[in-house]
């Protein structure tokens, strides 16, 4: 049986990309009974007599899935953050990074609008960039000119399923449109045709960009840690993982435990205090979360 990847889901149909061509499929009848909902990004086995009448027979195991946009097997999240207008927010970036790390998605940080900063502000943002690179993150810096940074970004997209994420107004759409100019028309058409502010169900689609697939809908519209357990949180901070073997207690949460290597590293300024402060904030948020029944 042929295998492929779902690149679009719309009105009960799934569009499966296999060996360069797309087949329109429906899910098997027993999927609903077995509570299987195929998602964009799923690897599937299917059968088809022709290009419009296929059936998905099997959905292979997922390495991860997002709720919004509903998409599976994401390799990479491109976290777009502006240096100015809105100003750079390490607290928000860390929130995104924790969400991405918890899903085992590779983050790529892209700081836009660097040209709008004063020399003093540039030094401040570059200091943050140095920190994030020292934690092992890839960071790109671009200006507010629409096509700036596109050449740098393009190689990262190859052979991956990527989702763009970040707060509104930072230039996600501009970057996407610069990578794939024909998208411009699409976004303009959708907003003027449907009118803003209406509850519209957008379908999710993976678009071929620079030999990779990019979700046409930004990711992570909810920034709450609703699925993250408190024990998982330390693993979402790579610089803490690096020193945590030296903690006295296994499973140390780096809060009140004695002989904690992470707190010692913060005191020696090897881990920036703002990162540890954000960690404490997130820890409290998860701890105070209402239990789900």
Residue range(s) defining the domain that contains residue 260: 233-287
Of the candidates 165, 188, 215, which is a domain's last residue?
A: 215
Structural domain includes residue 29: yes
Question: Which pTM does this prediction carry?
Answer: 0.88
* One domain for residues 178 and 52: no
Structural domain includes residue 283: yes
* One domain for residues 167 and 88: yes
Residues of the chain under the 50 pLDDT cut = 185, 187-201
CATH of the domain at 28: 2.40.50.140
Q: How far apart are the C-alpha atoms of 165 and 100, rounded to whole Å?
A: 10
Would you state the pLDDT for residue 203?
Answer: 76
Structural domain includes residue 223: no
* One domain for residues 114 and 172: yes
Structural domain includes residue 115: yes
Structural domain includes residue 177: yes
DSSP labels for 6-75? Answer: EEEEETTEEEEEETTEEEEEEE-THHHHTT----BT-EEEEEESSSS-EEEEEEPPPS-EETTTTEE---
* One domain for residues 92 and 153: yes
* One domain for residues 119 and 250: no
Q: How far apart are the C-alpha atoms of 153 and 148, rounded to whole Å?
A: 10
The per-residue pLDDT for range 43-56, each reduced to its tens digit, is 999 999 999 999 99
* One domain for residues 75 and 206: yes
Structural domain includes residue 292: no
Domains of the chain: total: 3
137 φψ region: left (φ > 0), alpha (ψ -120 to 50), beta (else): beta
Q: How far apart are the C-alpha atoms of 216 and 222, rounded to whole Å?
A: 17
Of the candidates 27, 43, 61, which is a domain's last residue?
A: 61
Would you state the pLDDT for residue 188?
Answer: 46
* One domain for residues 188 and 248: no
Structural domain includes residue 47: yes
CATH of the domain at 247: 1.10.40.50
Q: How far apart are the C-alpha atoms of 63 and 42, rounded to whole Å?
A: 10
Structural domain includes residue 66: no
* One domain for residues 191 and 109: yes
Of the candidates 215, 250, 266, which is a domain's last residue?
A: 215
* One domain for residues 76 and 211: yes
CATH of the domain at 125: 3.40.50.300
Q: How far apart are the C-alpha atoms of 255 and 233, rounded to whole Å?
A: 12
């Amino acid at each position: 049986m042929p295998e492929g990847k779902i690149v679009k889901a719309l009105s009960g149909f799934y569009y499966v990309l296999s060996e360069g061509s797309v087949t329109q499929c429906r899910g098997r009848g027993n999927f609903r009974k077995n509570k299987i909902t195929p998602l964009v990004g799923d690897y599937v086995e299917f059968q088809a007599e022709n290009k419009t009448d296929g059936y998905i027979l099997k959905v292979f195991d997922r390495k991860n899935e997002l709720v919004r946009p509903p998409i599976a097997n994401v390799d990479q999240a491109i976290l777009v953050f502006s240096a100015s207008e809105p100003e750079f927010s390490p607290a928000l970036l860390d929130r995104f990074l924790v969400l991405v790390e918890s899903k085992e998605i590779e983050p790529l940080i892209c700081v836009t609008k660097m040209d709008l900063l004063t020399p003093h502000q540039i030094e401040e943002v570059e200091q943050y960039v140095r920190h994030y690179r020292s934690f092992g993150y890839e960071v790109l810096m671009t200006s507010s000119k629409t096509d700036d940074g596109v050449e740098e970004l393009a190689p990262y997209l190859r052979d991956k399923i990527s989702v763009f994420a970040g707060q509104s107004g930072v230039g996600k759409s501009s970057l996407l449109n610069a990578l794939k100019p024909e998208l411009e028309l699409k976004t303009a058409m959708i907003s003027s045709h449907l009118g803003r502010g209406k509850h519209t169900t957008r379908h999710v689609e993976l678009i071929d960009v620079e030999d990779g697939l990019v979700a046409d809908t930004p990711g992570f519209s909810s920034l709450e840690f609703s699925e993250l357990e408190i024990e998982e949180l330390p693993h979402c901070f790579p610089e803490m993982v690096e020193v945590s073997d030296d903690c006295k207690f296994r499973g140390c949460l780096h809060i009140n435990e004695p002989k904690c290597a992470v707190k010692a590293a913060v005191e020696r300024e090897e881990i920036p205090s703002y990162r540890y402060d954000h960690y404490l904030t997130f820890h409290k948020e998860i701890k105070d979360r209402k239990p789900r029944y």
